[in-house]
Chain A
Amino acid sequence: MIRSLFIALIVATTLLTACGETEDKEFYSGKTISVYVGRPPGSGADLAVRSFVRFWQEHIPGRPTMVVKNVPGGAGSRVWNLAWDEKNPNDLEIFFSPVSGTAVIVREEGLRADLSQLPLLGALTSPNMTYARTERLASADELPTVKGLTFGGQGPAHRFSVLGRLTLDILGVDYNSVTGFSGSSDVFNALRRKEVDIQTAPLNFYRFTVEPSVVESGEVIPLWYNPIINVKGEIVPLEAAGDIPSFIEYYESVKGETPAGELFEMYKWLLPNINGIVYAALLPRGSTDEATQILTESFARVTQDEAYRAEEERMFGFNLPVVSAEDGAKMLDDMANAPDAVRRLLNEYIQEAR
């Protein structure tokens, strides 16, 4: 009897200890994590985040429930301000949204948060590229010699407008800049109506919308993609670009020399920053190290998950380049503490388009 009781006591103690250990390890078991996205429901960013989150919850020990909440506003800055203002972090709130690099660098009105001070869990980037109508441009090489082309872009501070104009200016193209379109689709519609000639847009937009409708028919030709440069200054290989050259390769092929000058220096500085990080997942200040580690590791695991990668490929046409938490944090720090000369030059450059 005593022996049986003793054995039962040992078994019970072992089980309780094991349960306790499991509970410690699986902090997120039975919990709900809110994921805030700073864009309205149904927007491209919202759908991308929702897709990522479906897989993310499977990779967090304890398999918590993750719910996406939309907090649009402040031209995308409200979500970051919410993270910045969070006074009582509980490790159950993640802020996962597009980062506007130019807004961070030029310190646009509305963005109070210093993103470099918030723990970064991981980030994704989304390559972009430039293409042109062929009506006045028989081949891509002719671009620098054709006069009076029209470049169409979103707001003057939008990264596609900045990168698009910068590359054309570095090449010395004679063009007219028209900014103020509501989105990539709007610019593309204007391009199809022959109102604009050149556009810079996300690579997935090119793959899904531009390529099947006007590239295959010869109405539009791809020119270059703006490369993603990591924190070490290396160009990240981009298989998804296929035969399309990077801007630097394009420049060298048509000009026979390496690009140089003040604008190119700015372009080089901007590439690893505004082009290097597009979707960032951050925690509020004061979040525990344990939670940061669990979520950072699980974020990385999602990006390796074959099922997620397959869905990502269906959504974007390729896998979005992943930015590690460490590299992303450096990029955010570089943007937040951009040299005054870069900030001033970028401000002036944006101002020219207004």
Chain B
Amino acid sequence: MIDGMLAGLMLVLSWPTFGYLLLGVFIGMWIGAVPGLGGVVGLVLLLPFTFSMDPVPAFALLMGLYAVTSTSDTISAILLGIPGSVASQATILDGYPLAKKGHAGRAFGAAYTVSALGGVFGALLMAASLPFILPVIFAFGIPEFLMLGLLGLTMVGVLSGSAVTKGLIVGLLGLLLTTVGYAEATGVPRFNLHTEYLLDGIPIIPIALGLFGIPELLEMAVKNTSISRVEMVDKSRGGMLRGIKDVLKYRWLSLRSAVIGTYVGVLPGLGGSIVDWIAYGHAVQSAKDKSKFGKGDIRGVIAPEAANNASRAGALIPTVAFGIPGSLGAAILLSALVIKGLQPGPDMLTVNLGLTFSMIWDIAIANILAAGLLMLLSRQIAKIAFLPAHSVVPGVMVVLLMGAWVATSSMGDWWTCLAMAALGYVMKQGGWPRSPLILALVLGTLIENNFQLTMQLHSDFSWMYQRPIVVIIEIAIVATIVLAARGITRPKSVRERKKKNVAGPSQSLMSFLLAAILLAVFVAAFLIANQFEDAATGQFPLAVLTIAIPLVLFVFITDLRACFSGITDAGGTAQAIAVATQTWELLASARFFGYLLALLATTYVAGQLVSLPLFALLYARRWGNFSWPMSLLYAAASLLLVWGLYAQIMNLHLYPSLLFG
């Protein structure tokens, strides 16, 4: 084993292998930083170049890229509140509030340090786990996956803050959204409104980008504030150092999160998509003082970042050693292995042990390199948080929309993004938590599929008490719910009660409007789901809606009463609406959405190569009051980005417009 490790290290450090590793790291850092792209896209782009290479340098290039995309995707998560990829969704919960408070440097310092630590620790842990990892993987059957999904869902309570009922409803909405499209169990389409786009379900990236990214950009545009709402707090390198010290202070949390990341990453089908949520949940549940989570607690950055980098190593070993890919990225690496004429399996742990260890070293070294390089750049990157809004918004919007376009390259991605942006705006104004929706989207399909398979495989419910791992997870679920319930029912301090009452009439009105819309959507969905012919097609959506409808009805009535009370306090309906319109900055927000709708309409007519630069030009000139030369320069840069990166390098299929085909 030691010989294999040393041989692997020598292979990685030899030339030109190390050069390819560096190249992979550079490309991976860049791809990870662009929202919507990620490790899978990068691997697909690089794979053809490796066909004629020897295996060791080829895997150095691929692993270098794949290992670090989950490090650099932190940039947009922390600075913009936009998840750069699926792996960084939980990071935004505390990373973005930290940036808003002027602590972007601290968040970066912590994120990069812990990413390197997680990547290296995960790789070493996986290497040490080789002899016993296979029984662990196979101990998790379909019922265990179902229960893990349900355990993940209990995180909704953690993510809902003080609005637990609303958080539950949002989570149930997320579960309902996962039932759109073909049901895996029966192959029958559901809720697709007879559209082709919805047959495969709604892709998660346009939802996440719309729900989180656009409402933040809207707020920046309307208020013309920088990302950071305060002056730069972390001057010089102090912020970065503070972040590094945070990691040392919370070293046990970092290690526990890395362990979670490694072993959850091993499980096929779970992998990178939920590992950051599980680690985040662990950070909250294990903390004595939970009050700062969601408002800029550094532990909320440390836990998911340690876990998502560690999961890359976790997914690698079962792929290489047992031919079991834990994720799509791992499946591509498996293909690369096969193309090189190598067979995954016992040979990779005997004859080719040096190569297997070289891949582990690739991950470890790539993580250290990426963390070092990003730290060098972080001070400059963190300054973006202090740029004026109008210089940031159009550029980020172009990148965000093209990131959403990567999902399926259809206008449906943009409509989804826009619809979710509107929902995100309403949720933000109405005090509804947004994170449970993403968590439920990640877990919904997993839960439904494994439920249907469990019911087909087991004729009764004995699996619920006969399988030890299922029982352990059930205990964890009950404990999580009890702890969450204690948190909810605990007598509130005077300060907390005061804070809760801050929700004025405008928030109640927006909340009421959203509750009314959701009630209508849920009832309509219930009526449709009742019409499904096969039981397995309708079971899951009906179960979700049976819980969701009473809950939303409760919120609807509560908000209605709050609205009446608010109207009385404001001195009449007209006054209340006037206050609400002002609070919501309705006209400016409508204008922003108007820009986006015009952008979509222009795309139908003239395509993205016209609509996106035109949007940047008009926004910069009319909203941002930039000079014409500056606005034209901005538009030209946008055109270059869309044409160069997305159309030429990534070969994305752009919309065939009416004018240009």
Contacts and interface: CB of A to CB of B under 8 A. Distances in A.
28 contacts: A42-B40, A42-B328, A47-B335, A50-B48, A68-B651, A71-B653, A72-B200, A72-B408, A73-B410, A110-B189, A155-B184, A155-B186, A157-B187, A179-B185, A179-B456, A181-B453, A190-B141, A190-B142, A193-B141, A195-B142, A195-B457, A212-B343, A212-B344, A212-B347, A314-B339, A315-B338, A350-B187, A354-B188
Contacts of B536: 180, 354
Interface in B280-336: 322-325, 328-329, 331-332, 335
Given A78-B410, A185-B268, A208-B338, 12 more contacts: A34-B653, A42-B40, A47-B335, A69-B651, A70-B653, A78-B196, A155-B187, A158-B187, A181-B449, A208-B344, A212-B347, A354-B185
Given A81-B196, A185-B268, A180 B185 contact: yes
Interface residues on A, range: 35 or more
Interface in A332-354: 350, 354
A46 interface: yes
A179 B183 CA distance: 11
Contacts of B182: 75, 155
A74 B197 contact: yes
A125 to B, nearest CB: 20
Interface in B406-428: 408-410, 412
A81 B269 CA distance: 30
- Count chain A CB atoms within 10 A of each CB in B51, B184, B187, B341 and give the residue with the most: B187
Given A47-B332, A88-B661, A213 B323 contact: yes
A54 B48 contact: yes
Interface of B: 40-41, 43-44, 47-48, 51, 138, 141-142, 182, 184-189, 192, 194, 196-197, 199-200, 268-269, 322-325, 328-329, 331-332, 335, 338-341, 343-347, 408-410, 412, 449, 452-453, 456-457, 534, 536-537, 651-653, 661
Interface string A276-293: 000000000000000000
Contacts of A248: none
A343 B19 CA distance: 58
- Count chain B CB atoms within 10 A of each CB in A72, A110, A178, A193 and give the residue with the most: A110
Contacts of B661: 88
A156 interface: yes
B330 to A, nearest CB: 10
A47 B337 CA distance: 13
Contacts of A78: 196-197, 408, 410
A72 B197 CA distance: 9
Given A42-B40, A73-B199, A212 B345 contact: yes
A258 interface: no
Contact of B269 (A54, A70, A186): A186
Interface string A54-69: 1000000000000111
Interface string A30-47: 000010100011111011
A109 interface: yes
Contacts of B329: 42
A73 B340 CA distance: 31
Contacts of B186: 155-156, 180, 354
Interface in A64-95: 67-75, 77-78, 81, 88
Contacts of B453: 178, 180-181, 190
B200 A73 contact: yes
A286 B572 CA distance: 66
State the 7 A-B residue pairs at the shortest beta-carbon distance, nearest first. A180-B185, A155-B187, A212-B345, A69-B653, A41-B44, A74-B196, A354-B186
Contacts of B40: 41-42
A4 interface: no
A167 B651 CA distance: 42
A209 interface: yes
A20 B344 CA distance: 53
A350 B504 CA distance: 55
Nearest to A185: B325
Given A182-B449, A311-B339, A213 B345 contact: yes
A148 B268 CA distance: 27
Contacts of B452: 180
